[in-house]
């Protein structure tokens, strides 16, 4: 059975949407996933599941979180191959010297080429952002909070959900596969 990575958006940030990682692992197990491993306290999980479209797994997990814990959470799921492609495709290794300032803005779905042509998120940060498959890479030399909001732009203008992780987290999740 294939491995997947679930990235829950906005988990354990502030007081809203609190969930212990032990509870997340239990929930994923109850949903039929196995070999579940979480990383940090921010809604990152690697698991084994039946062969299916990642969007189906994302919907199933989001529904489980809402039904069992009352948490309305966006979930993005990647296949193991998609996560490895994100890691292997890192376009800025020569300048991205700090993993906590290198972002992977992970896309819930591919971008529509026509919308992308009309609303290019890379134009917000042309020196530091690059488009990949299911990801927009963004180097944030002055810190994440100072960087242009590429993920928000994609959601607003391209209609695709985005959740960001720093490179340290992305790299660690890839090790769990």
Is pLDDT above 90 for 15? no
Question: Of 26, 53, 81, which closes a domain?
Answer: 81
| Host domain of residue 162 | 83-176
Are 68 and 92 contained in the same domain?
A: no
pLDDT band at 42 (very low <50, low <70, confident <90, very high): confident
Which residues, including other chains, have CB under 8 Å from residue 105's CB and lie 6 or more apart?
135, 136, 137, 138, 150, 151, 154, 162, 163, 164
Residue 49 pLDDT > 70? yes
**Residues 129 and 159 placed together within one structural domain of the fold:** yes
72 and 94 in a single domain? The answer is no
Q: Whole-model pTM?
A: 0.94
| Residue 38, H or E segment | strand 34-39
- Asked whether 136 and 130 are in contact (CB, 8 A), the reply is yes
pLDDT for res 130: 98
pLDDT digits (tens, 9 = 90+) for 92-123: 999 999 999 999 999 999 999 999 999 999 99
> Among 81, 101, 133, which residue terminates a domain?
81
Residue 60 shares a structural domain with residue 140? no
Domain end among 60, 81, 102: 81
């Amino acid at each position: 059975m294939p491995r997947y990575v679930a990235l829950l958006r906005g988990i354990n940030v502030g007081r809203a949407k609190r969930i212990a990682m032990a509870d997340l692992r239990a929930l994923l197990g109850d949903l039929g996933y196995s070999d579940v491993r979480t990383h940090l306290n921010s809604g990152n999980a690697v698991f084994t599941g039946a062969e299916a479209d990642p969007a189906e797994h994302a919907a199933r997990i989001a529904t489980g979180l809402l039904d069992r814990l009352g948490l309305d959470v966006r979930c993005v799921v990647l296949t193991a191959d998609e996560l490895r492609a994100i890691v292997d495709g890192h376009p800025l290794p020569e300048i991205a010297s700090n993993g906590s300032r290198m972002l992977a803005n992970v896309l819930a779905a591919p971008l529509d080429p026509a919308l992308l042509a009309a609303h290019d998120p890379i134009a917000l940060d042309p020196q530091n952002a690059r488009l990949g498959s299911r990801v927009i890479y963004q180097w944030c030399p002055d810190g994440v909070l100072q960087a242009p909001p590429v993920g928000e732009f994609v959601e607003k203008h391209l209609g695709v959900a985005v959740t960001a992780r720093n490179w340290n987290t992305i790299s660690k999740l890839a090790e769990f596969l």
